[in-house]
Amino acid sequence: MNVLSLFDGISCGMVALERAGIPVERYVAYEIDKYAIQTSKKNYPQIEHCGDVTTADFTQYKGFDLLIGGSPCQDLCGMGSREGLAGEKSKLFFEFVRALKEVQPRYFLLENNASMLKENRDIISSYMGCEPVLINSADFSAQTRKRLYWTNIPIGEYDPKNILIEDIMQNDMPRECVTDKINKYVFSGEYAGRKIEKTTRNSIRTPEQKSRTIGTCSYDISSNAGVCFKIGDEYYKPNQVEFERLQTLPDGYTSILPIKKAVFGIGNGWTVDVIAHIFRGLKYDN
C-alpha cells in the first residue's frame, strides 16, 4: 500500500499497519513536532517526512491507497477551548478534507475525540460522507479512551479484552514515587475544594482498574489528564514503558526521548491495537 498520513505524530499508523499485516510500499508523513519526528525516524527510517500539512501539495499523491490522520482535537474535545472547527488547531481538519479531494484514495481513516459537540460531529460527517464509529480503547487496552473513527474501511466485530493496569505493569523497572505529592494535594486538606485537589485525586487508579485516558500532560499528576498508580500504600507515576503499553505501542518505542517528551507524543498518538483492528478490514475488502 501507498499511505499518506497527516498529523502523523509518532507514526502509530505505521505500527498499526505492520501489526495488521498490511504491506506498505510508501508511507508519507506530514508532522511538524520535532520530537515526534525523531521517534518516527528511530523506528521507521523509511518513512518520508514532509513537514507542514498547510503547505502541502497533495496532488502529487493522487491515487495513493490510504489516507489517514487524527486531526487536532484541542478546540473540539470536552476539556478543550470549545471553539470547534473554527479554532486555530482543530480547523486543520479541513486540510484532511483537502487531501481527500486531491488524493482520491481508495480508503480513508479520520480519528477524533468522542467528547465533541454533536454539531461538530455532524459537520465532520457531512464532509467525510459517512457517520463515525465509536470505539473505546478500553476494549483493546488498559486505558479508557473513547474516540470517533470516520472510515470507509469495513470494521469487523471483536471481543473486548479485559486488560487492566496490572497486566501492563513493568514490575522489574523503577517508577517515580509521588506519595508525598498525593498526600499534600489530596489528603492534607490544604487544597480541599481547589482544582489541584480534584485533578490530582482523579489521576489515581489501582492495578485492578483501567487507566484514565492518556493525554499529552499525563506525566503531570496534577493535570486534567494526569495518571497515577496506587500500589499498596504508595503512589507512583507510570514509567515510560508502561505509558507505551497503555497505548499498545511496542516496548521502547519512545526510548529516544526523555519521559515527559515521550508521554506528550504517546498522548497525541493512537491506541495501536484499535487502529490495527480497523486496518485488518483492508484484507477482507480485497
Checking if the pLDDT of 220 tops 70, the result is yes
β-bridge pairing 133-136 and 2-6: unpaired
Query: Grid coordinates in use for 95?
Result: 486540510
Give residue 71's pLDDT.
82
Asked whether the beta carbons of 226 and 238 are under 8 A apart, the reply is no
- Rounded to whole angstroms, the Cα distance separating 138 from 156 reads 17
The string of pLDDT tens digits covering residues 156-210 is 999 999 999 999 999 989 999 999 999 999 999 999 999 999 999 999 999 999 9
Element (H, E) at 133: strand 133-136
- Rounded to whole angstroms, the Cα distance separating 126 from 107 reads 17
Give the pTM: 0.94
Q: Which residue has the cell 489521576?
A: 203
DSSP state letter for 148 = E
Mean pLDDT of the chain: 94
Checking if the pLDDT of 36 tops 60, the result is yes
Percentage, residues of the chain above pLDDT 90: 88
β-bridge pairing 234-236 and 228-231: antiparallel
Closest CA to 266 of 196, 200, 168: 168
**pLDDT (average), residues 223-250:** 97
The string of pLDDT tens digits covering residues 109-162 is 999 999 888 999 999 999 999 999 999 999 999 999 999 999 999 999 999 999
- Rounded to whole angstroms, the Cα distance separating 229 from 233 reads 10
Give residue 34's pLDDT.
97
- Rounded to whole angstroms, the Cα distance separating 74 from 25 reads 32
Percentage, residues of the chain above pLDDT 70: 95
Give residue 88's pLDDT.
62
**pLDDT (average), residues 87-106:** 89
Closest CA to 259 of 39, 45, 70, 72: 39
Give residue 165's pLDDT.
98
Give residue 85's pLDDT.
72
Q: pLDDT band at 283, cuts 50/70/90?
A: confident
What own/partner pairs with CB < 8 Å and gap ≥ 24 does 121-127 have?
Answer: 121/148, 123/85, 124/85, 124/93, 124/150, 125/150, 127/93, 127/97
Give the DSSP letter string of 190-228.
Answer: TTTTSHHHHHHHHTEE-TTSPBPPP-TTTTSTTSTT--E
What are residue 112's DSSP bridge partners?
A: 148
**pLDDT (average), residues 20-44:** 98
